Structure 1
Amino acid sequence: MEEKSISELLRAKAHVWNHTLKFINSMSLKCAVELGIPDIIHSHGQPMTLSQLVMALQINPSRASNVRRLMRILVHSGFFTLQKLVGDEEGYALTEASRLLLKDSPFNESSFVLMILDHVVLKPWELVSTWLKNDAVGTFTTPFDVAHGETVWNFAAHEPRFNVLFNEAMASDGPLVSCVLRTKCREVFEGLSSLVDVGGGTGNLAKSLAETFPNLKCTVLDLPHVVAVTCKAATTCIILEGTCLSQFLLQKQFY
């Protein structure tokens, strides 16, 4: 076999392995969020050694090598950096990416990480081929239907844990989007008298716009089980239960 062909095969093999094993990065990130590693390092106030991190995590010292392997993956993924300390010691520090996982961050993305990597959301991905080969068109309209026997909306309606997790995840990018809209896109909202946030979830985005543009009448529309649990904008916005096919929307111009 020619040397060029061998090199091409090795690159192809590396490509296959890279995509096959990428889940390790995602699940390592989920583990870091569940353990609260970003907040622990942030609270420490300076780069944190492995032994300090293991102690703060209250993990058996015998697992220190496993924590080191986890952190090695997360450093490689760009969520932490490893900085030189006194002598031969090294300490873990935050990056801009891991700062988005701090509980006190106004742009906290932790709930999005936990929702996307939750077993409820991952299971449908294991059944995509089953869904595609299913001849009963209309019975299972999405892989989620195959995995759970119902739509994600119906599932969330009777599963409080997932309902809260899902809606917190959907709202997690609201603060950043709101900031961009208010600072970079003000002209879009100038002159408007009303706005409907369809699937508005917590209502935080609509609330922010209503506070920024006092003459803008904002309405948050979402499903009953969403509005009942998560909506926090009742003081500044109109809250409505319904779907995107509601008669209310057919009578209004919305953006």
Structure 2
Amino acid sequence: MELAHVCMFCNSTHRNRGTPMEEQQRTEELLQGQLELWHHALGYIKSMALKCALDVGIPDAIARCDGAATLPDLLAATGLPPCNLSYVRRLMRVLTISGIFQQQQKQPASSGEGQQEAVYALTPASRLLVSEDGNGQGAPSFGQIPAMSLPLCRTFMTPFLGMHPWIADERAAATSLFEREHGQALWEMTRSTSINDEFNQCMTADTRLIMHAVLTLSPDVFEGVTSLVDVGGANGTAAAAIARAFPHINCTVLDLPHVIENAPAPDEAAGGNTVRFVAGDMFHHIPPAHAVLLKWILHDWNDDECIKILRQCKKAIPIRDGGGKVIIIDSVVGSNPCDNICNETQALFDLYIMFINGAEREEREWKRIFVEAGFSDYKIMPILGFRSIIELYP
């Protein structure tokens, strides 16, 4: 006979669907499922906590406290009201659990009474968030504050609140999520508003770190190269790094006229090693060179646009036997199958870059573009965190 029981939560009668152990397992699965849903639903809180830490200056505050700060230290160093100590404690708990900061041993509280206070320290991540005014605990020349501030600003975040109506619209490909929200494309906005400065600062901060990594971990990428064009190279940060490391390489930066107008003087860009700046459009012409660099350019564009850019690159370089190649720095989704953080970051970035109708790509998707653009071979080196170096040969 099948028994019935009364549910203590809703006073309704349910039929037993299995043994007590099976019912217990199903209940535990339900609770685990709910936990995972809440974890995802509240994920944006981590982003907002990071933004708050940047706005308040918590990484700098910890650096000024010789790399270890209690909550009272943080309040004093940031100028936050002492009455808000409990709020800061809760903020730091989230940022510690999520790995932005670390909590060291506790020390006796200044108030005595046998209490102890947590001591917060920097991690490799938060060391990158110490500003140029920090005391050397971070690496100021590779500071990532501008790179993190841009995706967390209101202009870049609000388009995602309208993701559902956009993704349900059959005309989505014609009007980006960003354009739907702001009435103009990102590239149009960067021509005429202060967002241009924030965007350039973001790209400069990222380029300094990534080019340091490239030149440290894989300098042979530039072996045999005598001239190079950095396409979309803005103020020449990447080209300058290459010119300093390889003075024999003649480096040129190609970008749109309004970008080149604000470019630094050639000698200022490369510390005495000349970098030439040329105004132009990568869709129509790329100056001739031994190699072409595309650092974080192609993920901004759809497949057809990437093919157009790469065809111009192919025209600009010599044949493979002559050493011609295109150096691409971009994500290859799934390039580190055993690294869950890398995989999730790539997937998140793919959804993120969708707001300007860009895309992060798997190797098979890259290969299709390369073939369509007329290239014969390529090599992928996944050494840059969630990004890779791709050498593309004509």
TM-score by length of 1: 0.91
Per the alignment, residue 120 of structure 1 pairs with 155
Equivalent of 1:39 in 56, 60, 76: 60
1:242 aligns with 2:275: no
Matches within 5 A, 1:59-208: 59-87=80-108, 88-104=116-132, 105-136=140-171, 139-140=174-175, 142-160=176-194, 162-208=195-241
Cα distance in 1 for partners of 2:278, 2:241 equals: 18
Q: Which runs of 5+ in 2 are unaligned?
A: 1-16, 18-22, 109-115, 133-139, 268-273, 288-311, 318-324, 327-394
Cα distance in 1 for partners of 2:84, 2:69 equals: 17
Equivalent of 1:18 in 39, 46, 61: 39
Q: Secondary structure at the match of 2:80?
A: coil
Cα deviations across residues 52-96 of structure 1 (Å, max 9, x unaligned)? 211222122221111111111111111212223443233211111
Q: CA deviation at 1:128?
A: 2.0
More helix by share: 1
User: Would the aligned equivalents of 1:204 and 1:232 in 2 still touch at CA under 8 Å?
Assistant: no
1:6 aligns with 2:30: no
Per the alignment, residue 48 of structure 1 pairs with 69
Cα distance in 2 for partners of 1:226, 1:64 equals: 45
Equivalent of 1:218 in 251, 267, 271: 251
Cα deviations across residues 123-160 of structure 1 (Å, max 9, x unaligned)? 121122222223446641x1111011111000111112
Cα deviations across residues 169-221 of structure 1 (Å, max 9, x unaligned)? 12222222222222332222122122111111221111010121122111112
Q: CA deviation at 1:43?
A: 1.0
Cα distance in 2 for partners of 1:190, 1:27 equals: 43
Q: Secondary structure at the match of 2:89?
A: helix
Rg comparison, structure with higher value: 2
Q: Which runs of 5+ in 1 are unaligned?
A: none
Cα distance in 2 for partners of 1:187, 1:138 equals: 39
Q: CA deviation at 1:119?
A: 0.8
Q: CA deviation at 1:30?
A: 0.9
Cα distance in 2 for partners of 1:129, 1:64 equals: 38
Cα distance in 1 for partners of 2:192, 2:94 equals: 37
Q: CA deviation at 1:25?
A: 0.6
Cα distance in 2 for partners of 1:109, 1:51 equals: 26
- Return closer, same or farther for 1:47/1:148 CA change in 2, 3 Å cut-off: same
Q: CA deviation at 1:233?
A: 6.2
Letter matched to residue 101 of structure 1: L
Worse overlay, 125-134 or 151-160 = 125-134
TM-score by length of 2: 0.60
Identical amino acids, percent of aligned pairs: 35
Cα distance in 1 for partners of 2:70, 2:173 equals: 55
- Return closer, same or farther for 1:17/1:204 CA change in 2, 3 Å cut-off: same
- Return closer, same or farther for 1:117/1:98 CA change in 2, 3 Å cut-off: same
Q: CA deviation at 1:46?
A: 4.5
RMSD of the alignment, in Å? 1.9
User: Would the aligned equivalents of 2:228 and 2:249 in 1 still touch at CA under 8 Å?
Assistant: yes
User: Would the aligned equivalents of 2:211 and 2:238 in 1 still touch at CA under 8 Å?
Assistant: yes
- Return closer, same or farther for 1:138/1:66 CA change in 2, 3 Å cut-off: closer
Letter matched to residue 118 of structure 2: E
User: Would the aligned equivalents of 1:167 and 1:226 in 2 still touch at CA under 8 Å?
Assistant: no
User: Would the aligned equivalents of 1:202 and 1:233 in 2 still touch at CA under 8 Å?
Assistant: no
Letter matched to residue 204 of structure 1: T
Letter matched to residue 63 of structure 1: N
- How many matched pairs? 252
Letter matched to residue 14 of structure 1: L
Q: CA deviation at 1:3?
A: 1.3
